[in-house]
Amino acid sequence: MNGIVSSRIVSWLISLLFFLSSLGGLSFVKDQPDPSLQAPAWSPWVHEHWVWENEGTQDTILSVVNDYESHGIPVGAIIIDNPWSTDIGTFIPDPDRYPDLAQHIEMYHDRGIRVMLWATCMVNEGTPTFEEGLEKGYFVAGGKTLKWWSGRGAFVDYTNPEAVEWFHRQMDIVLDMGIDGWKVDGADPYIVLLLPAYGKNSLHITWKQYRDLFYRDFFEYTREKLGNDRVISSRPVNDPALRIGLPLVFTDRDINFAGWVGDNDNDWGGLRHALNDMLASSRFNFVSYGSDIGGFRNPHKEKYKDVFIRWAQLGAFCPVMENGGNGEHMPWNYDEETTEIYRKFTHLHHELIPYIYSQAAYSFELVKPTMRPTAGTYQYLLGDDILVAPIFEPGEERTIVFPPGEWIYMFDQSQVYKAGVKKLTFELDEFPVFIKKGAIIPLDVTNDLNGNGSASSAGYTTVALYPQEGSKKFGLYEENKQGTMLAYEKGQNSLKISAGPGERAFLFCVRGEGSPALVSDQSGKPLPLLSSFEALTTAGKGYYTDGNQTWYATDQNSDGLLIDIRY
C-alpha cells in the first residue's frame, strides 16, 4: 500500500511540475477588434475533414481514404501517423511501410487532399542519425537518453543553432516531398525528467522554454520552405492521463491553427475528457482545434456506436474535425445508420467552413477563443451565433441553458427557444445546435443533404440570414486576400442586404420572413421572381421563394452589392 501511495505522490508531483512549467501561455482579450479583414494566418483546408489511422502503411491509408470517398464522405486531409520512418528522428520513410511516399503525396495532392506527417523532438538510440547527433553535441544534457512512450532517445537541442540546422536537414527529406504540415506530438514534457536539462553552453532549459522553441521551429521552418498554407497540428491545452485537473499548455496560440487535445478513451468518459480539454483550451484563447472522433485509445476492446456518433456530431461543430486512432473509426463498420449520420454531419461541417474560418480569424484578431464556454454543462458558442450543447452521456435527453436572445434549432427551424433552462430530446440523427436570431451564417453548399441548397449551389457562397430588426455585420475572411463585409439592415417592412467589393457570387437565403412584394438591386432595377431554385442559380440574378424561405442573387462587382427588399 505504501508503494502505491508513494507512486501516486510521485505522479502528482510530476504533473504539478509539468503544470508549473507550462504557465505563461495565457493571453488576455483585447478591447477592440481589428476590422481590416486581412487574410488569416492559415488556410481554409485546416477546417476540412481529416482522417488517419494508427500504425498503418501507404496501402492501408489509401484504402481508408478510398472507403470514405466511396461512402460519399469528403476527405480534406490525412495524417500519416507514427510509425512511418525507419526510426524516430531519422525522417527516412520506412521502405516496408511507405516505399513510394513521394509519389503517394503527389497522388493525394492531385485529388485535393492534404498530407500531414507525425513528428516529435526526439531522436531514438540505435540509428546513424542518433550517433551523428551525439558525436556533434546536438542533444540536450549532453545526449542523455530516457525512455518515453515510443522508445528511448535524446532531445534535439533547440538552443544550439548548429543542432537546429542539422535537424532541418533531416526534416528536408520529407519537406522536399511537399508535405502540408506535421502532427507534432508531445514528447517535450519528458524533458523535466532529465534533472537537469541543459543546452549549449550549459544553459538550463525549462519545459516552457523548450516547448516554445520546439513547436515554433517546426511551424516556422516548414512555412519558410513550403509557404504559409502549411501548419502544425499539436496540443493546445491537455490534461495528461493522470487527469488531475491541471491543464497543460503545449503550444503557443499564434502557431497552432490545427490543434487536437491529446489522447482519449473511446467511451463516454473519453468524450467528456476531450470536452474538458477543448473548453480548457478556450480559456487560453486558442482558436482552431478538435479531438480524435471516437477516442484515440480503445482500452475495453469494444465499439460504442452511440459514443462514436455523438463524438462525430461534436466534431462537426469544432473548428477541426478529425477522426483516427486505435479501435474502430470507420462509420460503415458500425452500420448503415451510423454511416448516414456521419456523412450528413461531415457535409454539414464542410458547409460551415466559411463561417468557421471567418469566426476563427476574427477571434484570433481579438485574442479570444472560437469555442466560447457558456453557462450550462459542456456548452459553448461556436463563434458569435451558433450554440452547441454536446451530448456527453447515454440517452437522448439534454438539459440546455439558453443565453439571452432567441435560439433557432438547426435541424427544425420552426422550433425557437428563449433564454432559460430547457430539457429537450434529440434522436440519434440530430444534435443540440441552435442559431441565434439575427445571425448571418455564410456556407459552402454543394448538395441537398442538409437542406441548405442543392448541387446547383456549388460556385456560390450561400449566406443564411435570420434577420431581426436593426442591423448586423459579418466579416467574411478570405485566403490570401482582403475579405468582404456582409451586412443587413431590417426595418418594419423592409430588408436591405449588402456585401462589400469582392469576386464571390452570393446566394442569400432569408429565413423567418414572409414573401417579398418588391425586390431591387443597387441601381434600383427590380430583380425578377424565378420559378425554381435551379432557375435562380442558373440565372445568377433574381429571387425565388419556396414558402419557408426566400433566396436572392445579384451581380457582385467592384463596388459591392445591395439587395433592397420590401414587404
| pLDDT tens, N- to C-terminus, the chain (567 residues) | 333 333 333 334 434 444 444 444 333 334 444 446 678 999 999 999 999 999 999 999 999 999 999 999 999 999 999 999 999 999 999 999 999 999 999 999 999 999 999 999 999 999 999 999 999 999 999 999 999 999 999 999 999 999 999 999 999 999 999 999 999 999 999 999 998 999 998 889 999 999 999 999 999 999 999 999 999 999 999 986 545 556 789 999 999 999 999 999 999 999 999 999 999 999 999 999 999 999 999 988 899 999 999 999 999 999 999 999 999 999 999 999 999 999 999 999 999 999 999 999 999 999 999 999 999 999 999 999 999 999 999 999 999 999 999 999 999 999 999 999 999 999 999 999 999 999 999 999 999 999 999 999 999 999 999 999 999 999 999 998 888 999 999 999 999 999 998 888 999 999 999 899 999 998 899 999 999 999 999 999 999 999 889 999 987 677 889 999 999
Residue 201: its pLDDT value, please? 86
d(CA 455, CA 444): 11
- pLDDT of res. 36: 60
Instruction: Please state, in angstroms and as integers, the Cα–Cα distance from residue 255 to each residue in 48, 176, 217, 330, 507, following that order.
Output: 18, 22, 10, 30, 34
C-alpha span between 31 and 359 (Å, rounded): 17
Pairing of strands 49-53, 77-80: parallel
**Do residues 291 and 278 touch, judged by C-beta distance below 8 A?**
yes
Cross-sheet strand order for the sheet of 371-373: 371-373, 380-382, 386-388, 433-436, 397-409, 416-425
pLDDT at 13: 41
The pLDDT of residue 509: 98
State the Cα–Cα distance between residues 88 and 98, nearest whole angstrom: 15
Residue-level pLDDT at 215: 98
> What's the confidence (pLDDT) of residue 10?
33
Neighbour count for residue 202 (Cβ, 10 Å): 8
Q: Report which DSSP code applies to 81.
A: P
* Cα distances (Å, whole numbers) of residue 421 to 375, 418, 427, 495: 10, 9, 19, 32
Cα 247 from Cα 280, distance rounded (Å): 7
Handedness of CA 465, 456, 43, 238 (dihedral sign): positive
- Supply the pLDDT for residue 245: 59
What is the structure's pLDDT at 30? 42
Beta-strand pair 259-260/289-290: parallel
